[in-house]
Amino acid sequence: MKITWFGHACFLIETSDLRILTDPFDSSVGYKVPNVIADIVTESHQHFDHNAHRLIKGKFELVKDPGPHQFKNVKITGIKTFHDSESGAKRGQNIVFVFEIEGFRIVHLGDLGHLPSSAQVEQIKPADILLLPVGGTFTIGPSEAKKVLDQIVPHVAIPMHFRTKYIRFDIAPVEEFTKLCENVKYIGSNILEIDEQIKKQDRLVCVLSV
């Protein structure tokens, strides 16, 4: 299995027979729109930088609601959270998606805007791979992201939703988060290969590059 980051909160989770795309964006975000064929597309919320499934190829299943979903050999659970720290009053709801596939639990936090409650953490855990927003302004910021990392305790965390040379939003760069972390690896690629070795890690932060 491998995970490919296309920028912002958009990842392709790819097995030998299944391709899951998360939070597709349009070209106004600044990154190149993914040129991929998907079997499943998930959207954590309905903002333009997370819901551009119309631009994605393939006859895919669209998942944009909380609750349990089952497709082929993957179980997807959507957990209701909020896009801000005021119970959605400012930016509405957000869905955390937990993917159970090929013996791994991959968690995509979407545009999480608050520290998860203990009940939400229990729904999320355990997490082998945590896709974690770190840029602030529209999501949790660097210091909150570190707290979430310590709440969920994944084997591997992949930061997302941070400022790069491509993105046009006023959010923090990934270094504001990684300087708070003890175990950081810069991959130098937008692809992370997944195998059983990741389960020997403890809060390893893998920074991908677009």
Domain range summary for the chain, segments of one domain joined by +: 2-207
CATH class belonging to 2-207:
alpha beta
Q: What is the mean pLDDT of residues 34-61?
A: 89
- For residues 138 and 169, the answer to whether their CB atoms sit within 8 Å is yes
Give residue-wise pLDDT tens across range 148-184: 999 999 999 999 999 999 997 899 999 999 999 999 9
Q: What's the rounded mean pLDDT across residues 21-32?
A: 93
Question: Given a cut of 70, is residue 92 above it in pLDDT?
Answer: no
As beta bridge partners, residue 22 has: 42
